[in-house]
Structure 1
């Protein structure tokens, strides 16, 4: 159980850093990108900085918004569910009789 929890934790942190890195390539500051990435993957509400409590995501580019849509989908459906659906073993038809 401890191994599975550790895997999920590090996968979650890796995804936050990965998506934040993609956002920094679009010109968003590192602190803002990290805050936006945490809030979209966790689906927890407003972020810090440019997307704070009194701001919206409207000022972001279309590239950033599309990245955030994918990240929100990953956060809503949970990471392991999506990874299982992408594995070929999930889609194999087994004869159980």
Structure 2
């Protein structure tokens, strides 16, 4: 029984570490929140280069994949985020205050 508990604990620790590593990899851009438009599911970010989208530093309006993400940020916040092109629109798929 003690061995099973130890194995389960080790597996859970591995999952937490893996989830953290995946999140750190996906948050590959940084910026400053300029505007939050929760009603339309959009956010305006002044950001640095976004390599996977081949975007230089600029200010851009993004859609968000989950409007609930917008409740975690406000204008003036520095954030780390992940963006992808979804249906030909730049979309934030993850965001967290820095």
Q: Answer whether TM exceeds 0.5 for this pair.
A: no
Scaled by the length of structure 1, the TM-score of the pair is 0.30
TM-score (norm 2): 0.30
Give the structure with higher Rg (CA): 2
Write 1 or 2 for the structure with the bigger share of strand. Answer: 2
